[in-house]
Structure 1
């Protein structure tokens, strides 16, 4: 993800937080197009998850890592992001896959977890769906980045998706 794209998404997440704090029915035109539509469609908790996920883009990868100061592996990143919003998740990918409600590719919402089978049977890798066919994850090569959830590499390895948030 480039710097401009990150800034745009952070602005939308910030606007989402403000929009959700407004009284019901309030119309606010400064950020209405994307942020208010997003605010009406998703919970503030989903907004917090996505905002926290984007704030960590650029954090390096570290096998077994579970904090911004040491770096993240895939499940450590997911656990940390959800933990920042008060949601406790298990530490490993396979344990995280056992949590939540199954959801199909066509029904994914930002904040849902996407799982892949990359180096063995079952779920071995995960990330946070960010919308528009993308997900944010801690990869071994570039650390925390946003990428295509169903591009050529990931689509053939897709294992399933889970909804943690209502």
Structure 2
């Protein structure tokens, strides 16, 4: 009797440990990818960058885009688009068989217990392996025929249909692609000439899909490749006057304390305003340029919508001559090409509507990011 109980206990212990062992799958890195502390491109931290050929163990598929992996004893997350791994589909069958074995009555003979141990540990003869490589195995929607398209303005080619996701590369204007499906009104799933599948903003391409041709975009800025600063898609609105470049905005008389009121207007929107791609829905949803236009507008100072226009308003200011209320401009994706704007607060900080913070933020300008990405400044309060 004791020997029977011991055999059953040993069988149960072995069966319980099988799923953890079978769950790990071998894999390797195809392209340089960050090993992160969290399954997100904008949260957590980067442990290190894994180089092509690095071997790893895939512990779990966190979601469609992220894998939980272990590399040299370090556990973290990587984008599934940069990794090839083998998924062992026999694990579920082995676990099910093992579970069935352990449900046998406790009165079974020692021979039956021994048999259950053998059944639990034996590999399934029908095991199958599937190679997973999401980035290069596009699967078009079964209800939508693939179409074609062309890039009208340089645009980020991303791994996911969301701002802040990994960027494969920048697609150049004139580059053609295969349109796979329209994910939503803002994102198009495509396959480029090299066979890689990803997503682009619909505002920077024209395409034909299922007999429908897109309308050529009117945007003038490029989506950012980093979560911060904000993305700007200028689209002049007819109900607002747009001053000609280099003209000084007109409106209520500008006094010495106008800059203080502009800064306070901006800070008062903390916790109220959120970031929205190309949005101008006062006071709850702005992008970076519609935000500056709004807070200046509260003081009777008219600014255009879009960094492409705001960068020429007022007068140019040297970096060491900034004053409170000056507009500061930064590049995001392409060095020198302005993609973000904020307001200098006079105390070494940038007050701006941030995509990564999803709202109004105050950022120290002595941080390396702002130092490296600074382009120019303009004074509109004179």
TM-score (norm 1): 0.70
Q: Which runs of 5+ in 2 are unaligned?
A: 1-254
Q: Secondary structure at the match of 1:119?
A: coil
Cα deviation per residue 1:86-122 (whole Å; 9 max; x = unaligned)? 1111100110001011112211111000000112342
State how far apart, in whole Å, the 2-side matches of 1:150 and 1:72 are.
Answer: 25
Partner of 1:100: 314
Q: Within 5 A, what are the aligned runs for 1:26-37?
A: none
SS at match of 2:377: strand
Q: Which is strand-richer, 1 or 2?
A: 2
Paired residue for 1:9? none
Which position in structure 2 is the counterpart of 1:162? 378
Matching of residue 71 in structure 1 with residue 71 in structure 2 = no
Residue in 2 aligned with 1:18?
A: none
2:270 corresponds to 1:54: no
Question: Does 1:82 pair with 2:296?
Answer: yes
1:3-152 correspondence to structure 2 within 5 Å: 43-58=256-271, 59-120=273-334, 121-142=336-357, 143-152=359-368
Shift of 1:57: 2.0
Shift of residue 68, structure 1, vs aligned partner:
4.0
SS of the aligned residue for 2:332 comes to coil
After superposition, the CA RMSD in angstroms is: 1.5
Separation in 2, partners of 1:69, 1:104: 32
Q: Secondary structure at the match of 1:131?
A: coil
Larger relative helix fraction: 1
Q: Distance in 1 between matches of 2:256 and 2:379?
A: 13
Measure, in 2, the Cα distance between the counterparts of 1:80 and 1:109.
20
Query: Which whole-Å CA distance do the structure 2 matches of 1:70 and 1:119 have between them?
Result: 26
Q: 5+ residue gaps in structure 1? A: 1-41
Decide whether aligned partners of structure 1 residues 130 and 139 sit closer, same or farther in structure 2, where only a CA change above 3 A counts.
same
Output one character per residue of 1:116-147: Cα deviation in whole Å (capped at 9) or x when no partner.
01123421100010122101111111111110
Q: CA deviation at 1:66?
A: 2.1
Aligned equivalents of 1:55, 1:107: Cα separation in 2:
26
Distance in 1, matches of 2:373 and 2:276, equals 22
Q: Deviations over 1:35-92 (max 9, x none)?
A: xxxxxxx812112111111111232111122244441111011111111111111100
- What whole-Å deviation, never above 9, does each CA across 1:12-33 have from its counterpart, x for those lacking one? xxxxxxxxxxxxxxxxxxxxxx
* TM-score normalized with structure 2 length: 0.32
